[in-house]
Structure 1
Amino acid sequence: MLNRKIVASAAAVALATGLVACSNDEQAAVVSETATATNTNTATETVAAETETASSTATETVTSSAKESGAAAAGADATQELTLADGKTALVPQGVLDTMDEYAEPTWGEPTAVEEIDGGWIVTYDNEHYITWKESTGGSPIWGAIADSWLNDVRGARTVGFPLMPETPNTDGSGWNQEFENGTIDWSRDGSADAPFKATVNTK
């Protein structure tokens, strides 16, 4: 009787131990599966987030570059409205207005005309004052006898192209000269102090 009880108790203990062991194994499997699923989901979400961020950054970079390129192109071709003395308007490159702001004097009054010629622009004021601008040369004022010679192509003056800078006095005090794309125009006396002024065109 005692032996049967002991055997029975041993069997019960063994059964209980087996159940505990089984229960522990199942829990371990569940924990392992949960950890694996969690790690997998976390890794997947991390990769997806990094991919989305990289893609978004790349898109923003390309978009920003495209906008900058577009802005640069628009700036190169930009035109502005110029109002003349008679109230009429004309569209001119921004460089023309910048040159007017730099060189035109208040005493010249309002511009009376503007024209595009030989790849550049000429803005006319009263009393033989002009503003010139060309993309390859920049802007410059031109006036007086040198302007008259150039505009009317006296002695082939137009062959020197557009002016590069304002006229300057000759070092000997004999007159003035102005530098152009392809040469200079000199307005000075020929020889003696009482000789008449004349335009001399010097090409490069």
Structure 2
Amino acid sequence: MNITRTITATVAAAALTTGLVACSAQEDKAAETAETTVAETATETNTATETATPSESKGATEAEAGTVAVDTADGAQAMVPAGLAEAMDTYAQAEWGEPLSVEETEEGWITAYDGGHYVTWNENTGGAPTWGEIANNWLTTVEPEQGLGFPVAAETPLEDGSGWVQEFENGTIEWARGEDGLFQANVNVTN
């Protein structure tokens, strides 16, 4: 997915919503066409953006709609659920920098930062950070194939000091040193 296109569609939808408030009766036809175009574009880019009609948007604020704008490293803004913005404020470390991308998936939202750091959020988890090999395995192999769900907490060291473990909605991923001395991912799906 092209994140620039996603952010552009989100910003366009936000601008359209603001502009629709001021539409006069003779501009309704043009606004309706633009509204349809933005809705189609947002659907194509898998972006959760709602376009309000003039009567729906009167007096509505971003907070009332449940979305807020977050700045990204490329200077753009992305409209995200307020819960994701709170999770980003809670878990993202200053050394990670500004978000590189913000993506909505079927199960929730993933914000990517520098160095392979991520902040994830969905309504079930309330948000959690993930990084390193656990994040890499979850994003590329585990989740698409095994339905582990989203992280529910940050990774923690294993008691024996051999690696780390992170809890997900439907199990865990361990990144631990095996008997052969090499690190490997161990996935435990509970559902």
Same fold (TM over 0.5): yes
Aligned: 1:180 with 2:168:
yes
1:82 alignment partner, one of 70, 79, 85:
70
Q: CA deviation at 1:158?
A: 5.3
Which residue in the other structure is 1:34 paired with? none
Q: CA deviation at 1:78?
A: 0.6
Residue 199 of structure 1 aligns to a residue in which SS? strand
Code of the aligned partner of 2:189: T
Q: CA deviation at 1:157?
A: 6.4
Which residue in the other structure is 1:200 paired with? 186
Where do residues 147-158 of structure 1 align in structure 2 (5 Å cutoff)?
147-154=135-142
1:53-84 per-residue CA deviation (whole Å, 9 max, x = no partner) reads xxxxxxxxxxxxxxxxxxxxx96851001110
Aligned: 1:171 with 2:134:
no
Distance 1:190 1:89, change over 3 A: same
Which residue in the other structure is 2:123 paired with? 135
Q: How large is the RMSD of aligned CA atoms in angstroms?
A: 1.9
Residue 152 of structure 2 aligns to a residue in which SS? coil
1:103-143 per-residue CA deviation (whole Å, 9 max, x = no partner) reads 11110011010000122000000100000000111100000
Residue 98 of structure 1 aligns to a residue in which SS? helix
Stretches of structure 1 lacking an aligned partner (at least 5 in a row):
1-73
Distance 1:80 1:92, change over 3 A: same
Instruction: Supply the distance in 1 between the matched residues of 2:146 and 2:166 (Cα, whole angstroms).
Output: 13
Distance 1:155 1:196, change over 3 A: farther
Tell me which protein shows more helix as a share of its residues: 1
Instruction: Supply the distance in 1 between the matched residues of 2:144 and 2:184 (Cα, whole angstroms).
Output: 13
Distance 1:157 1:102, change over 3 A: farther
Code of the aligned partner of 1:170: L
Residue 115 of structure 2 aligns to a residue in which SS? coil
Which residue in the other structure is 1:125 paired with? 113
Aligned residues: 129
TM-score (norm 2): 0.63
Instruction: Supply the distance in 1 between the matched residues of 2:79 and 2:153 (Cα, whole angstroms).
Output: 24
Q: CA deviation at 1:191?
A: 1.9
1:18-38 per-residue CA deviation (whole Å, 9 max, x = no partner) reads xxxxxxxxxxxxxxxxxxxxx
> Which is worse superposed, 125-134 or 152-161?
152-161
Distance 1:178 1:76, change over 3 A: farther
Where do residues 93-108 of structure 1 align in structure 2 (5 Å cutoff)?
93-108=81-96
Q: CA deviation at 1:101?
A: 0.9
Larger Rg: 1
